[in-house]
Structure 1
Amino acid sequence: MKVKAKDGVKVPLEYQPAAFIEQEPVEVEESLYYRRRIADGDLIVVKEPRKPVKSKE
């Protein structure tokens, strides 16, 4: 899943406490750690825009 930190917050990566998630979206695995940070409001899930489907006309 893709996440980014809310404005003004730096969230440490799960197993890399010296590396942080900031305002740029990052791909992370869906673990308890990241789900908890999302529930706390520190991380925001970034939804990918859907690609338009080409019609066969």
Structure 2
Amino acid sequence: RLERLAAAGFDATATGRIHAPIGLDIGAVSPAEIALAILAEIVSSLRGPRRKPA
């Protein structure tokens, strides 16, 4: 994917912002579990860095 994006004119800064849990071995056995992992990545990106416990 990164090679195709580079060939299309995207630089390393742009492609470095890609977040994707796809391809991680999370031990999922169903499409629902894979979807959950993708949604977790989206929420993590939206919420920013984790807060430290008080």
Do both proteins adopt the same fold according to a TM-score greater than 0.5, normalized to the shorter chain? no
Q: Which bin holds the TM-score, normalised by the shorter protein?
A: under 0.3
Higher helix share: 2
TM-score by length of 2: 0.24
